[in-house]
Amino acid sequence: MITSEVIIVGAGPAGSTCGWKLKQQGVECLILDKQQFPRPKLCAGWITPQVIEDLEIDVAHYPHSMIKFDQFYVHFKNKSLKITVNQYGIRRFEFDGWLAKRSDVTVQQHTVNHIERVAGGYVIDGKFRCNYVVGAGGTHCPVYRNFFKSAKRRSKSRMIVTLEQEFSYDYHDAHCHLWFGQNNLPGYSWYVPKGNGYLNIGIGAFAEKLKANHDNIKNHWQLLVQMLGRDSLVTNYAFHPRGYIYYIRDGVEPARVDNALLIGDAAGLATRDMGEGIGPAVQSGLLAARSIAENKPFSLAKVKRRSFARYEVLSKLAGSFFINLVRSKKMT
């Protein structure tokens, strides 16, 4: 049996950040992930200056593609705004693989199924043993399923369903575009250029709101594709989008049960203004590592609720749009 002081389930930004910080503090750890890294990952993939700071990234020496965004073009039904921002666009395929490698922690490919609480720790699938287990495996994380499902209920009104595709494309518009409320979509769509000729197109919406309106996100995807063609942003391309679900931040506690901790999307930490998950994942990974290394209580209350607090116009536009949807009587 393989033993380690800490086993982290999931090698995305939350898990890699946690492992990186534990390694720096001299704590033995191992990361398990069902996929081999680097691996494809659906995500719009913009990161805030806070993420750059938290991860201590030297932008000039980041070894992969990173685009600096000075402006976002925000469209709300019949209105458009040009917002000054300070953001960076990355490809998750590159970014996540780099974070995992930089952590200097062993990442072992293994699909975690059963985690048993035993005297003095945890046994995972009869193959791994640890004193602490950290759940960083996303929405369907087995640590959540094994230890938190009964104590930490996820509100269906906070569930986001997405369709998305990242692909090589000779785009001519290098700006990031965001569309809110188009065709009464209870969410937003995006067009995010990436480095080395890649483009990310996506759409995210509240699942319960779609259902209440007898709507389907696939219908909105087709409308998005039509709009992209009409505006000559993407033309003559055969799309094959994929989807996933995650949760906008609601109640974040409990985040720890005994020596089992939840971080990132496993804890449901995506921001309440833009549904952005990388920043909260990184912050929660740092908090978990410090809690374990320093033997202190663990709480996610300090993880930021919003992505764009510094940009009042965009924050108010996006934030009020999302929060009003969540509070809508039609969603209760």
Rounded to two decimals, the pTM is 0.91
**What CATH number does residue 32 fall under?**
3.50.50.60
pLDDT number for residue 151: 79
Q: Which residue, among 43, 50, 75, has the nearest Cα to 198 in the 3D structure?
A: 43
- The domain total for the chain is 1
Helices (H) and strands (E) in the chain — how many of each?
8, 16
pLDDT digits (tens, 9 = 90+) for 275-308: 899 999 999 999 999 999 999 999 999 998 887 6
DSSP 3-state of 35: coil
Q: What CA–CA distance (Å, rounded) separates 93 from 195?
A: 12
pLDDT number for residue 272: 84
Q: Which residue, among 245, 248, 242, has the nearest Cα to 267 in the 3D structure?
A: 248
Categorize the per-residue pLDDT at 258 as very low, low, confident or very high, splitting at 50, 70 and 90: very high
Strands 115-118 and 121-124: antiparallel
pLDDT digits (tens, 9 = 90+) for 144-199: 999 998 877 788 889 999 999 999 999 999 999 999 988 889 999 999 999 999 99
Q: Which domain holds residue 56?
A: 2-331
Q: Identify the residue with better confidence: 42 or 101.
A: 101
pLDDT number for residue 314: 52
Residues paired with residue 205 on neighbouring β-strands, in sequence order: 161, 187
Q: What is the mean pLDDT of the chain?
A: 90
- What is the per-residue burial (b if ≥16 Cβ within 10 Å, else e) of 61-82? eeeeebbebeebebbbeeeeee
pLDDT digits (tens, 9 = 90+) for 205-233: 999 999 999 999 999 999 999 999 999 99
